[in-house]
C-alpha cells in the first residue's frame, strides 16, 4: 500500500513535469535548426527570439519559484496540482496564440497563404495538444454509460477499461513517438 501510494505520487509529479519540459524544448525548437539541439552542441546559434536553451532554464527557474512560494512546498499533492495547472496554462497560451494572434498577424500583414496554412494545420495539431479525450477505435463497441466523463475518477473506478479506451487516443495500447508534441506544434 505504501509503495503504491509512493508510485502514484511520483507519477503525479513526473507526468506534468515531463509535459512541461517537452513543451519548452519543442517551443525552443520552433524556427531553429534541429542540429542546434544535438549533442555535442552545435556551434550554430539559435535564431529564435525566445531564448532557446537560456529560455528553458529561466522558465524552469520560474516554475521552481512558483513551487517554493507555496504554503507547503514539500507536499507532493500540492506540487503536482501546481505542475498540472502550469501545464494547462502553457498549452492554452499556445492554443490561443495559434488560433487568434498568429492568424490575425498574418491576415493584417496580407499574407493570406500563411494565414491559410495556419488554419489548415491548427485543426490537426491543436486538438492533440489539448487534454480533451480522444476515443479509441475500440471504444465504439464498449463505451462508458452516458453521464460519466472519461477523465473522471468515478469512471476510472467503475469502468477502468472503458475509461481507458475513451481517453487513450485512437490506438491506446501502442507506444507513441516521443516527438509527437513537437510535430503537433510545428503543424
pLDDT digits (tens, 9 = 90+) for 129-176: 666 655 555 556 667 777 877 767 777 777 776 776 676 655 554 445
Residue 32 in grid coordinates: 531553429
- In the three-class reduction of DSSP (H, G, I as helix; E, B as strand; rest coil), residue 54 is classed as helix
**Domain, as residue range, for 44:** 2-134+170-186
Q: How far apart are CA 165 and CA 152, in angstroms?
A: 13
The pLDDT value recorded for residue 88 is 86
Are 28 and 69 within one domain? yes
pLDDT at 181 over 80: no
Q: What is the dihedral of CA 61, 89, 137, 99, to 10 degrees?
A: -120
Q: Are residues 84 and 44 in the same domain?
A: yes
Cβ-contact 32, 48 below 8 angstroms = yes
Rounded distance, CA 57 to CA 51, Å?
Answer: 9
Rounded Cα distance between 53 and 72, Å, is: 30
User: How does pLDDT run across 10-63, given as a tens digit for each residue?
Assistant: 888 888 888 888 888 888 777 655 555 555 555 555 444 555 556 788 889 999
Cell numbers found for residue 59 = 522558465
Domain match, 176 and 165 both: no
Q: Are residues 84 and 146 in the same domain?
A: no
Let me know whether 158 and 182 are in one domain: no
Number of domains present in the structure of the chain = 2
Helices (H), the chain: 2-29, 52-68, 76-96, 103-108, 112-129, 153-158, 160-167, 180-186
Statement to judge: residues 102 and 163 lie in one domain: no
Same-domain check for residues 101 and 155: no
Give how far Cα 125 sits from Cα of 22, 30, 117, 132, 140, Å: 16, 14, 12, 13, 23
Does one domain contain both 182 and 90? yes
At 115, which helix (H) or strand (E)? helix 112-129
Q: What is the distance between the alpha carbons of residues 129 and 157, in angstroms, rounded to a whole number?
A: 26
Which pLDDT belongs to residue 82? 93
Length of the chain: 187
Amino acid at each position: 500500500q505504501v509503495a503504491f501510494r509512493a508510485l502514484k505520487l511520483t507519477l503525479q509529479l513526473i507526468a506534468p513535469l515531463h509535459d512541461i519540459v517537452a513543451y519548452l524544448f519543442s517551443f525552443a525548437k520552433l524556427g531553429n535548426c534541429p542540429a542546434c539541439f544535438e549533442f555535442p552542441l552545435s556551434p550554430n546559434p539559435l535564431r529564435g527570439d525566445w531564448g532557446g536553451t537560456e529560455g528553458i532554464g529561466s522558465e524552469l527557474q520560474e516554475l521552481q519559484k512558483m513551487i517554493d512560494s507555496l504554503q507547503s512546498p514539500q507536499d507532493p499533492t500540492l506540487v503536482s496540482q501546481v505542475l498540472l495547472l502550469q501545464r494547462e496554462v502553457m498549452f492554452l497560451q499556445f492554443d490561443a496564440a495559434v488560433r487568434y494572434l498568429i492568424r490575425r498577424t498574418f491576415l493584417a500583414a496580407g499574407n493570406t497563404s500563411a494565414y491559410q496554412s495556419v488554419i489548415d494545420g491548427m485543426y490537426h495539431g491543436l486538438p492533440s495538444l489539448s487534454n480533451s479525450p480522444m476515443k479509441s477505435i475500440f471504444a465504439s463497441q464498449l463505451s462508458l454509460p452516458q453521464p460519466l466523463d472519461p477523465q473522471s475518477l468515478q469512471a476510472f473506478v467503475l469502468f477502468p477499461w472503458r475509461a481507458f479506451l475513451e481517453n487513450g487516443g485512437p490506438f491506446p495500447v501502442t507506444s507513441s513517438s516521443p516527438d509527437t508534441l513537437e510535430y503537433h506544434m510545428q503543424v
